[in-house]
Amino acid sequence: MRALNLDFRRTERQSKWLRLICLACGLAAAIATGAQYQRVSDEMVRVNATIRAPGTTARKAPVASTRSDADVQKVALEIKHASDIVHQLNVPWDELLANIEAANIEDVALLSIESDVDRRTINISGEAKGLPAMLEYTRSLQARPTLADIFLQSHEIQAQDPQHPVRFVLSANWLVRK
């Protein structure tokens, strides 16, 4: 058997030239990519200027003089509606819902939560396995920092159900921290 001679440090002239050719190709590709990027960037600026130009001339035209009073009232109503939506979106719902969820009692199931954002009141409808569970849930809600003046608006024992659950509606004032 013949001995195997491996030379890991072999130096060749061709590998030096090959490296220089790869470096030159890489530099040429980088320059071509930069030039293409500049062309596309200039084209985007030109297109954006073209799009904005008709919009600015249309805004300069006196539109208000051609609108009737009904149109102005309709626009005012839409603006008020949009303002109401923005107002409701800015309400800290997370804090309220987190406090209601934190008052979790095992024998109580929530059915609905209705709110009046302007008056800062909420109505909570639920069903409890019995009157003690409903009263415990009411006490638990009273301990929450975002709710005050919690009142039992109505309750009804479901006689047709064999377990006789209690359906109830609670009313509370909602304290909003600003």
Q: Which residue has the higher pLDDT, 106 or 52?
A: 106
What mean pLDDT is reported for the chain?
Answer: 83
Q: State the pLDDT at residue 118.
A: 78
Q: How does pLDDT run across 67-107, given as a tens digit for each residue?
A: 677 788 888 888 888 888 887 777 777 888 888 888 888 88
- Cβ within 8 Å of residue 110, ≥6 positions away: 100, 124, 125, 126
Cα 176 to Cα 146: distance, rounded to the nearest angstrom: 7
Residue 157 has pLDDT above 60, yes or no: yes
Q: State the pLDDT at residue 10.
A: 64
Cα 109 to Cα 101: distance, rounded to the nearest angstrom: 11
Cα 68 to Cα 72: distance, rounded to the nearest angstrom: 6
* Confidence tier at 56 by pLDDT (50, 70, 90): low
- Cβ within 8 Å of residue 123, ≥6 positions away: 112, 113, 114, 115, 153, 169, 170, 171
User: Would you kindly state where each structural domain of the chain is located, as residue ranges?
Assistant: 14-60, 93-174
The answer to whether the beta carbons of residues 167 and 119 sit under 8 Å apart is: no
Q: Which residue has the higher pLDDT, 60 or 145?
A: 145
Tell me the pTM. Answer: 0.52
Q: State the pLDDT at residue 5.
A: 80
Residue 33 has pLDDT above 60, yes or no: yes
The answer to whether the beta carbons of residues 148 and 96 sit under 8 Å apart is: no
Cα 139 to Cα 42: distance, rounded to the nearest angstrom: 67
Overall average pLDDT of the 9-26 stretch? 78
**Domain 93-174 sits in CATH 1.20.950.20:** no
Q: Which residue has the higher pLDDT, 90 or 24?
A: 24
Residue 127 has pLDDT above 90, yes or no: yes
Counting residues of the chain whose pLDDT is more than 90, the rounded percentage is: 31
